Structure 1
C-alpha cells in the first residue's frame, strides 16, 4: 500500500470499481435510508401523541423507538448473513415489506405492547434487512469515491428529517396518529423497488472435485459456514472490538435529540410547528454535513479515523448545548445550536461506516457491518429510555441531553485507544483466509478484486 496518507485515492485502487451502475445503487441507498433512519428520526412527532393517548410515562413511550433502533441493529448480522449466503436483492425487498407491515399493524394498536411488537420488532427487523446490505452493496461498487458515495446516499437522512417532521405533524393533525402510521406504512413499501435495483452477482463455479451434492454436511461444517457468513472471527481482534465499543458509546447518545428534541422544544414553550422546525433545521444541515464530509474525506488529507473523532467530539458538545440554549427561552439560539449539531452528526455518519474496511479489510465489510450493529444494538436500546427516565426524574430534558452528549465524548476517547491511532498513515488491515465455499460470498467479488490490487 502507498505510504502517503491517501488511503482511499491511491493509485493502486484506481483500477477498482468506481461508479457505473453503482450510481444507481447510490440513488437506491438514498431513498431506502430516508425510509429507515429518516423515519426513525421523525418518530418524535408520534412521541407526544402516544404520551397523551396511552397516558404513560416518557420512559415507557421511549421504548417504542428504542426497540425499533435496537431491532434494526440486532438483526443486521442476519441481513448480512442472508446476503452472503443467498441474494441481497431478495433480502432488501423482504425487509421493505416487513417495514411496511410493521407500521400498518401499528396503526391498529390498542396498547403499548402492540406498538413494541409492530413499530419496534417487526419494522426494526425490516430495517435490519435493508440497511447493511444496501450499504455494503454500494461500497462494493466504489473504491476511490467510496466515502463520497456513502455521503450522498446518507444525505437523504437529513433531507427526509427536514421534510418528514412537518409532514408527519400535518398527517397526525389531519388523520390522527393511526392514519399517519398507515400512510407511513405505504411510504415504506418504496423500499421494495430499491432492493430490486441490486444486480445479483454470479458466483464463480466451485471445482468439480469439491462438489458433492449427495453428502450431507456435518455439524462442524455447518457451524464453520455460519461463522464464515457472520465473520465471527472479528470478535477475536482487538482493533475491531475497540472500534465497536466506541461506536456503541456513540449510539447511546446519538439518537436522543431525534427522539426527544421535539418534546423538549414543546416543554420549553414553543409551538408544535416551531418544535418540528427545530428538527427540520438540524436535518437540513445534516445533508450538508454528510456531503461535505464525504467529499473532504476522499481528498485524503487526513485519516478517516481522525476526522471521525473530531466530528464526534463536536456533535457531543452541541448535544449538551441544545437544552442550555433554550433555558433563556431564545428560539433563535436553539435553532442555531440545532444547525451546528445537525452538520456534525451528519458529517460523522458516513465516516463511521467508511472506517470499517480500514479495520477489518474490504472483503469482510459485510459481516463487519452486521456484527458492529449487533453489538451496538444494546446501546441503542438504552439511549431513549435512559433519556426518558432522566426526564421523569428531573421534570425536563436538560440532564437527558447532557448525559447523551457525554457518551459521544466518551466514545471519542475510547477510539483514541485504537492501535496506531496517532499515526499519520493507515496500516493495511488484517486479511482473513478465503472461505471454504467461494460461491457463498457473491456480493463482495468486486470488493475483493479491488482489495487484491491494492495490496499488491
Structure 2
C-alpha cells in the first residue's frame, strides 16, 4: 500500500493555497459578531428569567433549570445535523431558517401556561432554531481566515461579552416592566434579527476562470483552481501516504481511516474529556450567581449588574486572547490551560465572599478567563486534528459533546442546590472540576502535534 500511495503522490503536483484572510471575510465576522450578541445575550441573561419562572410555576430549581439547559444544549447537540443541513442548502439559507424557527419558538414560549410548555417552545424549539446559525457562526469564520484566524475569531466571539453587557440590564428592565412573558416576547423580536445576520453570510464565490484542469485527481473536492475561498479548495491535510496501514486507498476509506485514527489520538481524547467537563459547569455562574446574590440580600437590579461585569470583561478578554494567540511564538494550548484553571478558581471562590464588591471582582475574573474558551476553542482543535477534519467531522463532534455537557450540567447543579439548600456546594464542585480541566490542557500542551493550516496542500 505504501508503494501505491507513493506512486499516486508522485503523479500529482502539490500547490499551496491561502485563505482570503480579509476582504469579504470581515463582513462575515461582523455578521457572526451580531449573532453572538443575540444568542449569548439570550443564554447568559436566562438567570434573570430563571428567578421569575421559579416564582411563576413554583417548581424545584432542578426542574426549572431544565428550561435553560435545553436552550443551551440543543444547538450543540444538533451540531452534526446542522452540519448536514448546511452542506445541503448552504450557510446563508441555513442561518436564516434557524433564525426564523428560534423566533417562533420564543414567541410561542412567552404564552406558556406550564413549565413543560415553556421547555418545549423556549428550550427545545428555540434551541433547534439556534443550532443552524450557531454551527455556521463557528465554521464560516474558519473558512475565510487562516493566518488571522485567532484575531478574527476573537472579534467575532466578543459578541458573547457584548450580549451579556446588553441583555443583562435589558432583560432585568423588560422583566420589571412587562413581566417575564412580555420580556420573552420582546426578545423574540430581537432574535428575528438573526435572519438578517444570515443574509450577510456571503456564499463561496466560484472563480470565473474556465480554464479548470479537467484532469484533477483530488478525491475530495472538484479541481482546486475552480474556487477562490479556502473552504472550497481545502482538502485533507493528510496526503495519501498518511493513510493508516491496512486501509484501502479509495476516497471513502481514506477519509474514514483518517478520522478513526484521530479518534484514537490521546491528545484529542484528553481535549474532548476536558472540554466536556468545562462545558458541564460553564453556565453555572451565569444562572446561579444572580439568584445566589439575591439570597444573601443583594437586590435583583444590583445582582443583574454581575452579568454585565462578566460580559464587559469577557468582550475585551476575547479580543485580547485573539491578539495574543495570533502570534506564532505563543503556545495557544498553554494559554488555554492556564485560563481554564484560573476560571475554575474564580468559581471556587464565590462561596467564600458574601459581599457585593468581592462578587463583582470574581465576576470580572470569570468573564476574563472564560473568554479563552470562546476565542481559542476552534484554533486549538484545528491545531490537534487539522482544518479538513475540523470542518467535516470534529467541529460537529465537539459541539455535540458540549451539548450533552450543557444538557446535564445545569439540572445537576440545580439538583445539588435543591438537596443541599445552598449554592455553596455547587460553586465548590463546579470550580474544582473546571480548575482540573486547566491542568489537563497543560498536560496536553507538553506533547502536542500541531497541524499548521496557514497553507493548505491541494492535489491537482
Specify the TM-score bucket, using the shorter chain as the normaliser: 0.7 to 0.9
User: Contact between 1:234 and 1:368, CA under 8 Å: does it hold in 2?
Assistant: no
Q: Does 1:339 align with 2:364?
A: yes
Of 57, 60, 63 in structure 2, the residue corresponding to residue 60 of structure 1 is 63
Q: Does 1:134 align with 2:162?
A: no
Pairing of 1:136-151 with structure 2 (within 5 A) = 136-151=139-154
Of 380, 400, 404 in structure 2, the residue corresponding to residue 374 of structure 1 is 400
Question: Alpha-carbon deviation of 1:237?
Answer: 4.0
Q: Does 1:116 align with 2:119?
A: yes
Q: Does 1:427 align with 2:449?
A: yes
What is the match of residue 292 of structure 1? 320
Pairing of 1:145-184 with structure 2 (within 5 A) = 145-184=148-187
Q: Does 1:358 align with 2:383?
A: yes
User: Contact between 1:155 and 1:291, CA under 8 Å: does it hold in 2?
Assistant: yes
What is the match of residue 418 of structure 2? 392
What is the match of residue 255 of structure 1? 283
Question: Alpha-carbon deviation of 1:259?
Answer: 1.2
Of 277, 287, 303 in structure 1, the residue corresponding to residue 331 of structure 2 is 303
What is the match of residue 236 of structure 2? none
What is the match of residue 105 of structure 2? 102
Question: Alpha-carbon deviation of 1:232?
Answer: 7.4
What is the match of residue 305 of structure 2? 277
Question: Is the alpha carbon distance of 1:17 and 1:416 closer, same or farther for their aligned partners in structure 2, counting shifts above 3 Å?
Answer: same
Question: Alpha-carbon deviation of 1:416?
Answer: 4.3
Question: Alpha-carbon deviation of 1:411?
Answer: 2.0
Question: Alpha-carbon deviation of 1:154?
Answer: 1.0
User: Contact between 2:334 and 2:441, CA under 8 Å: does it hold in 1?
Assistant: no
* SS of equivalent residue, structure 2 residue 98: helix
Q: For residues 138-173 of structure 1, what are the alpha-carbon distances to aligned partners after superposition, in whole Å with 9 as ceiling and x for unaligned? A: 111111211111111111111110121111111111
Of 432, 439, 445 in structure 2, the residue corresponding to residue 413 of structure 1 is 439
User: Contact between 1:13 and 1:144, CA under 8 Å: does it hold in 2?
Assistant: no
Question: Alpha-carbon deviation of 1:209?
Answer: 12
**Alignment partners' CA distance in 2, 1:197 and 1:13:** 29
Question: Alpha-carbon deviation of 1:307?
Answer: 0.7
* SS of equivalent residue, structure 2 residue 368: helix
User: Contact between 1:155 and 1:290, CA under 8 Å: does it hold in 2?
Assistant: yes
Question: Alpha-carbon deviation of 1:202?
Answer: 5.2
Question: Alpha-carbon deviation of 1:13?
Answer: 9.1
What is the match of residue 219 of structure 1? none
**Alignment partners' CA distance in 1, 2:260 and 2:121:** 30
**Alignment partners' CA distance in 1, 2:289 and 2:356:** 13
**Alignment partners' CA distance in 2, 1:356 and 1:347:** 13
User: Contact between 1:293 and 1:348, CA under 8 Å: does it hold in 2?
Assistant: no
Question: Alpha-carbon deviation of 1:323?
Answer: 2.4
Alignment root-mean-square deviation, CA = 2.8
* SS of equivalent residue, structure 1 residue 380: helix
Question: Alpha-carbon deviation of 1:92?
Answer: 0.9
Unaligned regions of 5+ residues in structure 2, if any? 1-14, 218-251
**Alignment partners' CA distance in 1, 2:200 and 2:174:** 30
What is the match of residue 10 of structure 2? none
What is the match of residue 244 of structure 1? 272
* Greater mean alpha carbon deviation, residues 394-403 or residues 233-242: 233-242
What is the match of residue 349 of structure 2? 321
Question: Is the alpha carbon distance of 1:19 and 1:208 closer, same or farther for their aligned partners in structure 2, counting shifts above 3 Å?
Answer: closer
User: Contact between 2:66 and 2:411, CA under 8 Å: does it hold in 1?
Assistant: yes
Larger Rg: 2
**Alignment partners' CA distance in 2, 1:41 and 1:394:** 24
User: Contact between 1:75 and 1:374, CA under 8 Å: does it hold in 2?
Assistant: yes
User: Contact between 1:159 and 1:284, CA under 8 Å: does it hold in 2?
Assistant: yes
Q: What's the TM-score once normalised by structure 1's chain length? A: 0.83
* SS of equivalent residue, structure 1 residue 452: strand
Question: Alpha-carbon deviation of 1:32?
Answer: 0.4
**Alignment partners' CA distance in 2, 1:86 and 1:163:** 32
Question: Alpha-carbon deviation of 1:15?
Answer: 4.7
* SS of equivalent residue, structure 1 residue 355: helix
**Alignment partners' CA distance in 2, 1:263 and 1:75:** 30
* Greater mean alpha carbon deviation, residues 375-384 or residues 302-311: 375-384
**Alignment partners' CA distance in 2, 1:120 and 1:396:** 26
Question: Alpha-carbon deviation of 1:357?
Answer: 1.1
Of 92, 95, 99 in structure 1, the residue corresponding to residue 95 of structure 2 is 92
User: Contact between 2:44 and 2:287, CA under 8 Å: does it hold in 1?
Assistant: yes
User: Contact between 1:74 and 1:375, CA under 8 Å: does it hold in 2?
Assistant: yes
What is the match of residue 220 of structure 1? none
Aligned residues: 405
Unaligned regions of 5+ residues in structure 1, if any? 1-11, 211-223, 431-446
Name segments (4+ residues, structure 1) moved above 4 Å. 12-15, 202-210, 231-234
